[in-house]
Structures are given as C-alpha cells and as structure tokens.
Amino acid sequence: MILIAEEEACVQGFLVARSIDAEWEIENLGVASNLRRHGTATALTREFLRVARAAGGTSVLLEVRESNTAAREFYLKLGFVQDGRRKAYYRNPNEDAINYRLRFS
C-alpha cells in the first residue's frame, strides 16, 4: 500500500506499507523537510491505520534507527510500543533498529 499526501500536484509526503496476512508493516514514511511538524505524517499514518484495521489487520510493525528520537517519539504518541531491538540493523553508520508494534483492539 502506498499513500501520498499532495497539494497542487506537489508531493508533500508518503507512506509505504505491506501486509502479510493480518499483520502490517510500515516500510517507509517521509515528509518534505519544509512541511515537517505540520501534521502530514500524522494524517498519513492515521489514514493508514484506519485502512489496515478496516482490512482486518491485527497489528502494525515498524523499526526506527535508535538515534531517530523524533520518529520514535512520533510513533509512541500514536500508541505504538517498543517491541524489541535489532542489533546493528542499519549501516553507515552502524546502528540498532528499535522495533515498535501497535495492536488493534
């Protein structure tokens, strides 16, 4: 699934996710740097969660670089909980990934 936020044919942000059975994974979420902290990522993520739940999804997974505190705080604010760690998952620089999960009630 790909969701795109655009205005006047200009892409403002996107979210890419996939599902395996009832479990979804957010692969990538990006917002134009000049539009960050204006609600675009929140709107994209909430719409994705609505669609995933309506499709029978039971949970959503994702991982974030350990040093990406803005993204980590963003996902916690949306109800995701830390669900593990992948040692040295990222390269250049080497860094752990923090896994998050949101279970639908």
Give domain 2-103's CATH superfamily. Gcn5-related N-acetyltransferase (GNAT) (3.40.630.30)
Stated length of the chain: 105
Residue-wise pLDDT for 27-65, tens only, equals 999 999 888 888 999 999 999 999 999 999 999 999 999
pTM of the model: 0.90
> Quick one: average pLDDT of 9-27?
95
Residue-wise pLDDT for 58-102, tens only, equals 999 999 999 999 999 999 999 999 999 999 999 999 999 999 999
The predicted pLDDT at position 36 comes to 85
